[in-house]
Amino acid sequence: MKELMLGNQAAARGLYEAGCHVVSSYPGTPSTEITEYISGYPEIYSEWAPNEKVAYEVAIGAAIGGARSFCAMKHVGLNVAADPLFTTAYTGVGGGMIVAVADDQGMHSSQNEQDSRHYAQAAKVPMVEPSDSQECSDYIKAAYAISEEFDTPVLYRLSTRVSHSQSLVEVGPRQELPVRDYEKNAKKYVMMPANAQGRHVFVEERTLKLRQFAETTPLNRVEEGSDRRIGIITAGICYQYVREAMPDAPVLKLGLLNPLPEQLIRDFAATVDRVVVVEELDPIIENHCASLGIPVEGKSIFGYIGEISQKIIREKLLGQPPLEGCAYPEAVPVRPPVLCPGCPHRGVFYTLHKLGLTVFGDIGCYTLGATPPLLAMDTTLCMGASISGLHGFTKARGPEAAKKAVAVIGDSTFMHSGMTGLADITYNHGVSTVIILDNSITGMTGHQQNPTTGYDIHNQPAYQISLEAVCRALGVSRVVVVDPADLKALEASVRAETAAEEPSVIIARRPCALLKGVKAKPPVHVEPQQCIACRKCFQIGCPAITMEGGKAHIDDTLCVGCGLCVGLCPKSAIKEAE
């Protein structure tokens, strides 16, 4: 039986059919849906971990215990999990272990465009990369076989286009596998220097075996073509682009991205007049080919930035216009990224901008506080960097700077990597003010639970960690909870806490307006005769507020009645429903 599946859904199905036992992940677009789909299979234990490092360590613990395990993350999440990755490359695994890492070529929802293939090379672990949903399922099974045969974690690389596109998948039964016996083996799993030295020898020997494997594995295959003027070497989503743009070209499709084959590439190159590598981001395959002495082109044609497409391939390699397709008959208006109507973060950023504070931001939907008209964020680097960065900023610029600067961080991000930054402030005599934006959910990736919500991945009751108690335990005596919709109370709290000469935390607590169970109030409306078109209501950047006929207008299909705009109008022209 075949089903139409997202790439991420197909990966989850592959995990189910392959007999996976344990899954631990931290949500991160475009990888999130794999674990969400897995949560629907009761045969597999699944969880949301506080961060990617913890998720990886849960998965390796399960593998050491003899079970097939899995963890998923986006490309920047692998930075967080890199520490255990490099060491478990030495220890190896007991049961099979797969680490899915989803790259985001084009930065659709990410702060950088790093190429995760570098991690496979640096850690000396195998990496596979599927190109469609069927391969997303098949490559899970192949990755487990590689993991167990070569005693290694396997990186499973996805991309936004593969994760979020759909194609047919052959559905099969689950392979029920017993958990392997666990045997104590300190020389294998205790990585003190004497043991690690021996395991490095194992890694190098394993790499040689994997190189031989790369020459014969069906993951790497040659597809013959009638036009031998250009031979294409490619992988992942780029394979789909190549097949559509150049159906007659010979193609070497690589499914095993590390280690790359040598003789297979030499043999393929010898059959064509010109070799072109089609790969997004960095020249990993191209550099490998060049190291073999093969004349090859790639980045000189396609560049290092963003995504490739069928159109680009046809234009760059064939000098032909793109194939004709169907276009939507009307121009679709541009929709800039903006906080949702009723978003609890809007009042916080309006207040911070009004007070002229320097704001160290973090990763989350609240990053949109940097956009006009709020313009209330100075930095966004990585998960947790807001708190640590603010501490460094105020240490560099002195105590007066601390009175004019704050950090903002979400509830899930605080649990991910904010706690250690707050500990740094209290331990090292800092006086910074941190605002935790508690919207009762992990919002940016689509409403996943986290340790502060009181529910687990299955929406079952779980221990609810108290942000107030955590902050106090970390040494903060000034912990204030405020409703961000109450602008007067919020502003008073910010003024008071930034003036205090000790660490302080403001918890701005209001549920995400899109959460199930959060009841919207009736929409507010504008009395046109009272509106003077001063546009002060536009300062909060609510998409429900527009201008019609020279007067402010509120779209009642968007407004959730948060009332934030009501108090801003100098003429009381905005009215709440009676």
Domains along the sequence of the chain with CATH: 2-216 (3.40.50.970), 221-318 (3.40.50.920), 345-509 (3.40.50.970), 525-575 (3.30.70.20)
Q: Whole-model pTM?
A: 0.95
User: Which of 443, 416, 412 has the alpha carbon at shortest distance from 518?
Assistant: 443
Whether the upstream peptide bond of residue 30 has omega within 30° of 0, thus cis, is yes
Task: Return the DSSP state at 476.
Answer: -
Report CA Rg, the chain.
27
Helix, strand or coil for residue 412? Answer: helix
Pairwise CA distance, residues 449 & 461, whole Å: 11
Distance of CA 330 to the CA centre of its chain: 33
Q: Which residues contact 324 (CB under 8 A, 6 or more apart)?
A: none
pLDDT at residue 551, rounded to an integer: 95
pLDDT at residue 324, rounded to an integer: 73
pLDDT at residue 65, rounded to an integer: 97
Pairwise CA distance, residues 399 & 499, whole Å: 10
Tokens of 24: 């631990």
Pairwise CA distance, residues 361 & 352, whole Å: 12
Q: CA-CA-CA-CA torsion for 396, 397, 401, 407, nearest 10 degrees? A: -30
pLDDT at residue 274, rounded to an integer: 97
pLDDT at residue 539, rounded to an integer: 93
Tokens of 232: 């294409």
Note whether 68 and 96 are within 8 A (CB).
yes
- Could you list the pLDDT tens digit for every one of the 578 residues in the chain? 999 999 999 999 999 999 999 999 999 999 999 999 999 999 999 999 999 999 999 999 999 999 999 999 999 999 999 999 999 999 999 999 999 999 999 999 999 999 999 999 999 999 999 999 999 999 999 999 999 999 999 999 999 999 999 999 999 999 999 999 999 999 999 999 999 999 999 999 999 999 999 999 999 999 999 999 999 999 999 999 999 999 999 999 999 999 999 999 999 999 999 999 999 999 999 999 999 999 999 999 999 999 999 999 999 999 988 777 777 788 877 777 889 999 999 999 999 999 999 999 999 999 999 999 999 999 999 999 999 999 999 999 999 999 999 999 999 999 999 999 999 999 999 999 999 999 999 998 999 999 999 999 999 999 999 999 999 999 999 999 999 999 999 999 999 999 999 999 999 999 999 998 898 899 999 999 999 999 999 999 999 999 999 999 999 999 999 999 998 999 999 999 87
Alpha helices in 292-372 (DSSP H): 299-302, 310-313, 345-355
Q: Spell out the long-range contacts of 351-358 with Cβ–Cβ below 8 A and sequence spacing 24 or more.
A: 351/487, 351/490, 351/491, 351/494, 352/376, 352/406, 352/408, 352/494, 354/491, 355/491, 355/494, 355/495, 356/404, 357/404, 357/405, 357/406, 357/494, 357/498, 358/393, 358/401, 358/404, 358/405, 358/406
pLDDT at residue 326, rounded to an integer: 77
Pairwise CA distance, residues 139 & 14, whole Å: 8
